């Protein structure tokens, strides 16, 4: 099978593909630097693969088959008062901490530098905590379109990736993360109890550009679309299943329906313990869930046994403890366990549960992928 057929076969669960295919969300900057320092000189010129919207050199060198990618999105503009409101809020919070920044969406972010060149922005809170402030902030909001030439650009990048036996999977957002980032977790609960109609309005407003982007991606040649939206903590989801069903699921169902009508498979990403949402995902026809964070309580063997005939599973190699701190023997053992638990019958793709983060060691990433490549062929037979 080629990489597209193999990934589609994996996610459709109709039969076993020729081998277990692999995915990685992304590769963080410091990990990439460490890889270049340790292994960059071993790469030949033809091993350097830079697609129009993604450098996949390290992905290919390690042996990954796919990764998510960005693409053009619609422009969002606001009314005349908006710039002054952002500036006023920025001035207020930078007096508290000069590393704070208020975004145009009403999110408070803290920027922290690592070394001299790497800066990460951390979500602190959503600031639009009253109905009055939220409505004033969004007065005059308009969502633009996405020019057709961007479809050609995305298709060109996807085709080039396929020529290198690699599939780019474009992404489009959902609701949980922007809700927390704009109104804050406290206000989600408050509005759900006291003004559910307004919370539905907030959700619909957030989704306006996401629906337009989904329509754009559905025009492309991408066979798979991923929806990243972290909606769980370690040990439990953020919202109760009933709240998630009321406020989030209708929008996810609409996104899935848009994709399916255009022949796309739809995968969702979330870290955390998301299993309580699996019956909801299955009911609305989600094709796959990616991450399966083991330290959050996601047990691949259990999920495969209980849901694997209705939902494909992607991930389960720990990126927070195993890949940064584990021994080579521990990494190899976990890779073999994932393949034993997830691969039988198809419906599984191998992946670390998040990016290859700045904390992950190059040595452990190489051990992970070499072990995976050794045992990935069907029928999977691991001693």
Q: Would you say residue 65 has pLDDT above 90?
A: yes
- Compute the distance between CA of residue 40 and CA of residue 37 in angstroms, rounded to an integer: 6
User: What value does the mean pLDDT take over residues 107-133?
Assistant: 84
Position 120 scores a pLDDT of 75
Position 383 scores a pLDDT of 83
Determine the angle formed by the axes of helices 185-194 and 196-218, rounding to 10 degrees.
120
pLDDT confidence band for 381 (50 / 70 / 90): confident
Spans of all domains in the chain: 3-75+144-375, 80-127
User: What value does the mean pLDDT take over residues 235-256?
Assistant: 98
Position 111 scores a pLDDT of 84
Q: Would you say residue 183 has pLDDT above 80?
A: yes
Q: Please give the CATH number for the structural domain made up of 3-75+144-375.
A: 3.20.20.210
Position 117 scores a pLDDT of 62
Mean pLDDT of the chain: 96
Q: What is the DSSP string of 126-141?
A: E---SHHHHHHHHTT-
- Compute the distance between CA of residue 209 and CA of residue 187 in angstroms, rounded to an integer: 22
Per-residue pLDDT of 336-366, as tens digits, reads 999 999 999 999 999 999 999 999 999 999 9
- Compute the distance between CA of residue 173 and CA of residue 178 in angstroms, rounded to an integer: 9
Position 216 scores a pLDDT of 98
User: What value does the mean pLDDT take over residues 187-202?
Assistant: 97
Q: Would you say residue 322 has pLDDT above 60?
A: yes
User: What value does the mean pLDDT take over residues 313-330?
Assistant: 98
User: What value does the mean pLDDT take over residues 91-99?
Assistant: 94
Choose between 163 and 120: higher pLDDT: 163
pLDDT confidence band for 114 (50 / 70 / 90): low
Q: How many angstroms separate the Cα of 158 from the Cα of each of 50, 340, 342?
A: 12, 31, 27
Q: Would you say residue 169 has pLDDT above 70?
A: yes
Q: Are 191 and 137 in contact (CB under 8 A)?
A: no
pLDDT confidence band for 115 (50 / 70 / 90): low
Q: Would you say residue 321 has pLDDT above 60?
A: yes
Q: Would you say residue 112 has pLDDT above 80?
A: no
Q: Going edge to edge, which strands form the sheet with 348-349?
A: 224-228, 265-270, 288-291, 312-315, 348-349
pTM: 0.96
Lowest model confidence (mean pLDDT) among 59-63, 66-70, 113-117: 113-117
Q: Would you say residue 179 has pLDDT above 90?
A: yes
pLDDT confidence band for 296 (50 / 70 / 90): very high
Radius of gyration of the chain (CA): 21
Per-residue pLDDT of 34-60, as tens digits, reads 999 999 999 999 999 999 999 999 999
């Amino acid at each position: 099978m080629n990489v597209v057929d193999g990934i589609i076969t994996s996610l459709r669960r109709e039969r076993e593909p020729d081998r277990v295919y692999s995915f990685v969300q992304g590769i963080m900057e410091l990990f990439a630097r460490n890889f270049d320092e340790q292994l960059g000189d071993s790469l030949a010129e033809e091993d350097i693969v830079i697609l129009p919207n993604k450098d996949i050199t390290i992905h290919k060198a390690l042996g990954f088959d796919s990764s998510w990618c960005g693409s053009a999105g619609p422009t969002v503009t606001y009314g005349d008062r908006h710039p002054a409101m952002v500036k006023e809020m920025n001035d207020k919070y930078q007096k508290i901490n000069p590393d704070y920044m208020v975004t145009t969406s009403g999110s408070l972010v803290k920027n922290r530098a690592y070394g001299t060149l790497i800066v990460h922005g951390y979500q602190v809170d959503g600031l639009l905590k009253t109905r009055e402030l939220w409505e004033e902030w969004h007065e005059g909001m308009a969502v633009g379109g996405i020019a057709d030439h961007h479809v050609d650009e995305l298709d060109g990048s996807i085709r080039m990736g396929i020529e290198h036996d690699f599939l780019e999977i474009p992404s489009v957002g959902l609701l949980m993360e922007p809700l927390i980032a704009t109104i804050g977790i406290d206000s989600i609960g408050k509005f759900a109890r006291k003004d559910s109609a307004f919370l539905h309005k907030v959700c619909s407003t957030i989704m306006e550009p996401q629906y337009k982007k989904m329509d754009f991606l559905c025009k492309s040649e991408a066979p798979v679309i991923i929806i990243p939206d972290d909606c769980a903590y370690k040990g439990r989801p953020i919202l109760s299943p009933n709240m998630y069903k009321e406020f989030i699921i209708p929008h996810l169902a609409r996104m899935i329906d848009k994709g399916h009508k255009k022949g796309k498979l739809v995968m969702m990403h979330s870290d955390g313990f998301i299993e309580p949402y699996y019956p909801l995902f299955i009911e609305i026809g989600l094709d796959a869930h990616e991450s399966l964070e083991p330290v959050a309580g996601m047990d691949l063997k259990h999920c495969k046994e209980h849901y694997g005939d209705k939902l494909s599973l992607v991930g389960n190699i720990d990126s927070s403890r195993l890949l940064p701190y584990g021994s080579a023997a521990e990494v190899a053992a976990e890779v073999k366990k994932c393949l034993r638990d997830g691969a039988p019958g198809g419906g599984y793709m191998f992946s670390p549960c998040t990016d290859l983060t700045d904390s992950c060691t190059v040595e452990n990433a190489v051990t992970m992928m070499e072990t995976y490549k050794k045992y990935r062929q069907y029928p999977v037979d691991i001693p």
